[in-house]
């Protein structure tokens, strides 16, 4: 994550690790969910194109921010099997 990629918003600076609640409660999506008792990854696309991720069971916890290129690399890697070790 590029620290220079931080942006300013009406509510303040948007940065990696910020409280997810500071990004608002709307527009969070669960792109996938499983038989995990409701513990899901939630994603939110930010105005500057970055994607914020948070844990659904801790919506006030830290938000991890990724560039579109980072998200694309992760998704393409997962599709090609490079993340299979995460479920083994």
How far is the C-alpha of 31 from the C-alpha of 55, rounded, in Å?
A: 12
- What's the confidence (pLDDT) of residue 36? 63
Q: Are strands 41-45 and 51-55 parallel, antiparallel or unpaired?
A: antiparallel
What sign does the dihedral 31-35-38-39 (CA atoms) show? Answer: negative
Percent of the chain with pLDDT over 90: 66
How far is the C-alpha of 88 from the C-alpha of 27, rounded, in Å?
A: 31
Average of per-residue pLDDT values in the chain: 85
Residue 9 in this model has a pLDDT that exceeds 80: no
What are the extents of the domains in the chain?
3-86
* pLDDT per residue as tens digits for the range 26-42: 999 987 766 666 678 99
pLDDT band at 12, cuts 50/70/90? Answer: confident
């Amino acid at each position: 994550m590029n620290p220079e990629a931080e942006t300013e918003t009406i509510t303040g600076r948007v940065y990696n690790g910020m409280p997810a609640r500071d990004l608002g409660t709307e527009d969070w999506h669960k792109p996938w969910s499983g038989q995990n008792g409701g513990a899901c990854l939630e994603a939110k696309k930010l105005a500057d194109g970055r994607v914020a991720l948070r844990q659904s069971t801790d919506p006030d916890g830290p938000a991890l921010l990724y560039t579109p290129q980072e998200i694309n690399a992760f998704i393409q890697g997962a599709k090609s099997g490079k993340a299979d070790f995460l479920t083994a």
